[in-house]
Amino acid sequence: MENEGIINYLVVFNKPGRKYTKEIDTRWGGLIEPAKSEDPVKTDAGLRVVLFASWDFGYIVLKTLKEFENKYPGQLNIVGLVTDDPLSPNAKISLKKRVWSLLDMPYRVIDETFIIESGLSHGIPVYTGEVKVNSFHDILKKWNPDVILVCVFGQIIDSFTLKFPGYGIYNFHPSDLSLHQGIGPAPYEDLAIRKAKTAVWSVHQVIEEVDGGLVIGKSPPVCVLDLKGELPHDPLIVYHKLAEVLSPMVFFMMTELSGKFELKIPGKLEYINFENLIPDKIKTKIMLPATHDLWSDVLNIPVDFLYKPG
């Protein structure tokens, strides 16, 4: 509880107007609501999106969604963020098997604070607790998403949530799931075993099977070798290299989904050709060697291809 108290102080109790609610049926976390004064220009119109995400990858997805919403008000509406709580000892998010195992406690505090603050400051409520409980189901009903995106999220999503959004639930996973590579929490280990030179992101429909569901698209290949032509020993270097292509993938996916919503075309996405959509200058960049820069705020929105509603 001490570590949760740190987060509550940083993002709630030190920010006038924000509200924290601990539901009785969740073993950890709760709902953090932004102050009414935060992002007062945010509208309630457009495709309603909820994001289940954490860590740096999730932060990039959230920033891309926010940028899209800012550029096209009324086309996209981020209505909720659900994120990992890597600080609570009660949290069942596979801490020892996932990226959190590579980070010490100060970095976990920083990463969780970043994504929570990024959501709240945009007027987005943030939930940090269990998702397979009635209180969260009630929150989801209130948010009423048309689509849910997932990127680095440690809980199994239950059938209630899976059936909720009409446009589906989609996960971004940093390996080629169409070839059954890197399934689960260790895509870096898969690269090492296969002695791979490149990796891709897969976007797939989320089902109850972990990393199952139809793969609707893959990124162009991303170089994962360093200047010596070797796979870096630090998985974080590889993951931050993969981050370079994440933002444009999110951008083009939201272009497709918001277009379907505007034209009132129902149903889930089944295919997106990211290889053709992503500009050559980004493809060139992601094939450069991985460096030892462990953090970069990567937001590659292809401005030459901005969606024009209507």
CATH number of the domain at 62, please: 3.40.50.170
Confirm whether 223 is domain-assigned.
Answer: yes
Positions of the chain with pLDDT lower than 70, given as ranges: 1-5, 9, 13, 292-310
Q: What is the pLDDT of residue 143?
A: 98
- DSSP 3-state of 158: coil
Token pair for 62: 């959230």
Confirm whether 172 is domain-assigned.
Answer: yes
Q: What is the pLDDT of residue 310?
A: 36
Confirm whether 284 is domain-assigned.
Answer: yes
Confirm whether 291 is domain-assigned.
Answer: yes
Quote the domain boundaries for residue 232: 2-300
Confirm whether 183 is domain-assigned.
Answer: yes
- Give residue-wise pLDDT tens across range 250-265: 999 999 999 999 999 9
Q: Structurally, how many domains does the chain consist of?
A: 1
Query: Given the structure tokens 């009630």, which residue do they identify?
Result: 138
What is the distance between the alpha carbons of residues 192 and 250, in angstroms, rounded to a whole number? 27
What are the start-end ranges of the E strands in the chain? 19-21, 31-33, 47-53, 76-82, 126-127, 147-151, 169-173, 198-199, 202-205, 215-218, 222-223
Confirm whether 195 is domain-assigned.
Answer: yes
